[in-house]
Chains A and B, each alone.
Chain A
Amino acid sequence: MPDSFDLYLTAAWQTLQMVSVSALVSAIFGLALALLLVTTGPGDLYARPWLNRGVGSVVNAFRSVPFIILLVVLLPFTRLVVGTTIGVWAAVVPLSVAGIPFFARIAEVSLREVDRGLIEAVQAMGGRKRDVLWHVLLPEALPGIVSGLTITLVAMIGSSAMAGAVGAGGLGDVAIRYGYQRFDTQVMVSVLIGLVVLVSVVQTAGDVLARRLNHRQ
């Protein structure tokens, strides 16, 4: 049926749009937050213990709200940012708001795993704080950050199914409306296969890239 093929194609495109834009936003702001969390703790490069604790609490707060609730709670904010509360762009806002703290915590772990000795070495060679960020923390944590971004992407593909609630469409939305509510098993199975393929491609690409970047073995 050309009709339903069109439906799938549109849905897949919507999912890709939602997820890629949200992931990009999450990667940028999440990484910035992670750097802030890693470098402002007591005894760190830019020690600001109060700021550190405050940001940590906000991150935790956002992480504890279930996505479907966040979607609704954020409606006014979404309207403020993208001017509408329906469609793909309306979904990007809550997906990003959920993705930023999620990715921040994952990237934080990778950044913390960087050997303190390397920081010391760069300071001893005449490096400044920004050199430590730029030449040590980020490049050394990069393989872990890429793996973390892969995890974030996969989680986001899952969350995007709920974005159907704001009329954003996407593969998950098709599965719920056609497969679940109309008992159309064929659509349900097709969409699920599509999602499995999408997740597998993302995960494999992420793994390959992370392995390429990792020179530790």
Chain B
Amino acid sequence: MNALAEAIRPEEVEAGPALWQREVEAVGEALVSFRQVGRQFQAGGRSVQALQEVSFDIRQGEIFGIIGRSGAGKSTLLRTINRLESPSSGQVLVAGKDLSGLNEAQLAQARRGIGMIFQHFNLLSSRTVAQNIGLPLKIAGLPQAKIDARVDSLLQLVGLEGKRDVYPARLSGGQKQRVGIARALVHQPELLLCDEATSALDPETTQSILALLRDINRQLKVTVVLITHEMAVIREVCDRVAVLEAGKVVELGPVWQVFGAPQADATRALLASLNHELPADVAGRIVAEPATAQAELLLDVRLDGVSGQDPALGPLVAALGPATRLLHGGVERIQGRAQGRLVLACAPQSRNRLGDLARQLAIPAGNIRILGYVDHA
């Protein structure tokens, strides 16, 4: 018990070291396996296919993200794991076991190994923080002394020692979610399901909750599955991501790969919110052909991070010439890989050296796009 409380010290939470380059051994074999999972709903006389042919594995120890627009089936998919939803076809295995054949008592027992947190927290208003956290243990029939000890250590884990006997109505959104997390961890589950856990929180609180989830994953070795419609959440904490569109998985892979080189339209649409669109003042002046000798060539360079090298500026300038200017863009590190987009202005004759530039930056030639020319009147 104390080991759990001590597992995460405040200073470690603060420091948040970039542990992205994680040992391969840390991520084990499949903890959750979806096998051809389908789910149909009858809605107003017609049937809706919420999930179709979903097949993939979630590995032990990873933080797996499932992203998609609302109505894409994320929530249904997540709920098939702890069987709050039953698939109409296919199989969901958790630690190799199919929960479909279980009776009520067995299913309740199995669910104790799977924690879950919710967008709207779902705390009981009639119970204090401590009573909420202890409820799963009370339901399981543990003696009150054991419940109290466990609740105290979890309060410490989520940093709410002072709120023990407060009712949830008196807590902020972030505090409520911390109670939700503590409640979800009370049975020491191997797996934590997060249903849009940060969607009702402000950006700052979102960051602190994501940091807590990351620490729980790292320190307590809890596998985390989270669904969200926010790409930023995936980028922040996930190791791998599946993109869901109309009930199907359209893309799946390490986060840096899916973000750096999205293959599906649905992924690109979801990424649009993160992309740096061309500012209006630049976009408004672009012309297809240079009109004057002073015209500059505009390039859009997409850094996909595949090479794993950080983009070097020297070779870039060497390729494009000393007059090269940076107009717009941004680079972010996702899982230790620099990704982003740069809009550069350079001399028109650099046009012939784009292949060289692509080589220097270790990106495919297709990632460099000519936007047009800007004339300086």
Measured CB to CB, the residues of A under 8 A from B are: 115, 117-118, 120-129, 131, 135-136, 139-140, 142, 213, 215-217
Contact = CB atoms under 8 A, between A and B. Distances in A.
Contacts, number: 74
Given A125-B183, A127-B108, 18 more contacts: A117-B120, A120-B84, A121-B116, A122-B135, A124-B193, A125-B135, A125-B136, A125-B187, A126-B109, A126-B140, A127-B139, A128-B108, A128-B139, A136-B124, A139-B126, A140-B124, A140-B125, A215-B126
B84 to A, nearest CB: 6
Contact of A140 (B116, B126, B138, B193): B126
Nearest to B167: A215
Contacts of A140: 124-126
A122 B140 CA distance: 11
A126 B104 CA distance: 10
B125 A126 contact: no
21 contacts: A115-B120, A117-B118, A118-B122, A120-B122, A123-B84, A124-B193, A125-B112, A125-B116, A125-B186, A126-B110, A126-B139, A128-B139, A135-B135, A139-B124, A140-B125, A215-B125, A215-B126, A215-B168, A215-B169, A216-B125, A217-B169
B82 interface: yes
A124 B139 CA distance: 12
B169 A124 contact: no
Nearest to B187: A126
A125 B126 contact: no
Contacts of B193: 124
B86 to A, nearest CB: 13
Contacts of B186: 125
A217 B167 CA distance: 9
A113 to B, nearest CB: 11
Contact of A125 (B104, B105, B111): B111
Contacts of B122: 115, 117-118, 120-121
Interface of B: 82, 84, 104-105, 108-112, 114-116, 118, 120, 122-127, 135-136, 138-140, 167-169, 183-184, 186-187, 193
Contact of A126 (B111, B120, B126): B111
A182 to B, nearest CB: 52
Given A118-B122, A136-B124, A216-B125, A124 B114 contact: yes
A149 B138 CA distance: 29
A147 to B, nearest CB: 15
B118 A121 contact: yes
Contacts of A128: 104-105, 108, 139
Contacts of A124: 82, 84, 111, 114, 116, 193
A121 B184 CA distance: 9
A129 B124 contact: no
A131 B116 CA distance: 17
Given A125-B111, A217-B169, A135 B82 contact: no
B113 to A, nearest CB: 9
Contacts of A217: 169
Contacts of B124: 118, 135-136, 139-140
A118 B168 CA distance: 13
A5 B122 CA distance: 56
A126 B102 CA distance: 13
A140 B132 CA distance: 12
Contacts of B125: 140, 215-216
Given A125-B135, A140-B126, A216 B118 contact: no
A123 to B, nearest CB: 6
B285 to A, nearest CB: 52
Contacts of B136: 125-127
Contacts of A139: 124, 126-127
Contacts of A126: 108-112, 136, 139-140, 187
Contacts of B104: 128-129
Contacts of B105: 128
A127 B124 CA distance: 14
B102 to A, nearest CB: 12
A106 to B, nearest CB: 19
A179 B105 CA distance: 63
A121 B111 CA distance: 11
B279 to A, nearest CB: 42
Contacts of A135: 124, 135, 138-139
Given A122-B139, A126-B108, A126-B187, A213 B126 contact: yes
Contacts of B111: 123-126
A136 B132 CA distance: 11
Contacts of B120: 115, 117
